Each structure stands twice: as C-alpha cells, then as structure tokens.
Structure 1
Amino acid sequence: MRARFGLGLALFLVFQGLFLLTASGRVNRIADEFEVYLQVESLWERGSLAIPQVPPQLFFGKVGRDGQPYAPYGPGVAFLALPHHALARGTAWALGIEPTQVAAHKEWLAALTSLASSTWAALAVLALFRAALALGASQRRAALVAALLGGATLLWP
C-alpha cells in the first residue's frame, strides 16, 4: 500500500512539475482564457460570476436576466481555480506586490490563477492511476496508463 501511495504521489509531482514548467502563465491572449480568469476574479471580489470588467468589444458571452455580462462557460472552472487565486493573492501580499501596482498585481494574480489547470490535470493523472489500481491493474500498468493520459493527450495544459 505504501508503494502505491509513493508511486501515485511521484506521478502527481512529476506531471505537476511538467505542466507547471510548460504552462504559459498568461491569460490575456484569447477570450477563452481571460473570460474564465475574469469569472474567478469576479467570484472572489464580488461573489458573482458576472464579468463586467470585460471590454464590450471583446465580450462574446451572454447578457443575463440581470443585465450583467456572463462568460459562455459554466461556473465549474471558476470554482476550481479559486484556491489558486487565493494563493496568488496571499503570495502577492507576502511579496509586497500591492494592488496599487496595477500591472504587476494583475499579472501576478493571473499567472498564478492560470496554473490551476496544471494542478487539476496532474490530479487527473493521479486519479486515473488510482482508478486503474482499483480495477485490478498492476502498479506498472496503472502508472503507464496514467502517464499516457498526462503526456499524450490534450490534458497537457
């Protein structure tokens, strides 16, 4: 049992490291990225999934019944990225990156929040490893299947 835990942890750490090293850390290239980030920011700051901070010329979601703009995505990703956003805000405070330093503060928050996909992808690798073991696969086969998920699919963020 201890070896299974160690191998699972090793898989998670290897893929978390790989995904972190290859992640862009930027969310301002396309609307799919920045609208999800703005959902997280809005959820943290206003307790709402509305994204009024999107410039009208870039907005491509839907206007809700309350007249507020919403991204065309469900709330799941925003909720899953909240822990990373909290970590980003905490580290910004600890490092002295003040909200008055608008560009640096926003870049820091966006970069660390965007790494949520790396963590969830690495957790998916770990989950597949554990599921394969539960279905009777050997440790070697379970690790191989999990590694294929992490390295040879669109899961790679």
Structure 2
Amino acid sequence: MNSVLQSLLFTSSLTNYFWLNENTEDSTMKNISVSKEIVASEYLNLLYLLYCGEYNIVTPGPFKQGTYLSATTCLVCTYASHNYEPFICPTLPIPSTNQCTLEDCFKHFNQDEYLINDSRWFCPRCQRLCNGRKRLEIYKLPKILIIQLKR
C-alpha cells in the first residue's frame, strides 16, 4: 500500500473522526465542496475495506493512471524525441525560496534541463552525442493525484 495512504490510515484523529461521524450530520461536512465530499467518501470506503471487510490489501488501480511526457530536443539539429512514461506519485522539487506555492513547485518541475558535458544526449538524426534540452511534463493526470514533495 502507498506510504501516503498508510500515513492517513494511521492518523488516529482523522480515522476516529470518520468512524465516529459516519452516520451523523456533521456541520463541517455540510459546508464542504462536492469534490472534497467525494474524497471524504472514498476515504471512508477505504476504511471499510481495510477494517470491516474481508480484505487486508487494497489495489492502487486509480493511482496508476498518470503519464509523463518527456520531450528531448537536440540543440544541434532541433530533432525532438517524445516519450510517454507512466507514474504513480510525482515527486516535485521545492524551489530554494523561503516560501512557495504548489504552483511554484510545478513550475520548477517543468523547467528545462540542459543535457551538456557528461549528460549529453545521443541524437538519432546526428548519430552522435549532442547537447540537448529535456522537458518533463504531466501529460495525463491519474484519477487520484498524490504528490510527493522533494526536500
């Protein structure tokens, strides 16, 4: 099971809140948006699966649907190569500023990486190692996105 889910499941105050309030009209639950209500409902379903059901494992199907687009461009002939790679949990670097938003982390994640010196790229058109530029983007989001922040 994913470490983030394990952390949530073993956060006793959160789990107890759901167990104790599942059949009551909670004032905080009335005022949340529909998307947050869906997340809360899915969390309660997960609790039932693990603690009340006949299962002790959960398959992470909805978490395995993300796709990265990796685009590498030769800086000599401008040939571009595109590769699609699946991901479960993207790791976003935190910019070296005192404060930043999640949007800043995504911008930092999407920055171009220059492939020079020992990191040069083999260009299929030039048929040799060339300086290149690589960009990694999230092409397709999974149904449920879990983000890991890189320290």
TM-score scaled by length of structure 2: 0.31
Greater strand fraction, Structure 1 or Structure 2: 2
Structure with the greater alpha carbon radius of gyration: 2
Greater helix fraction, Structure 1 or Structure 2: 1
Q: Which has the higher contact order (CA 8 A, sep 6+)?
A: 1
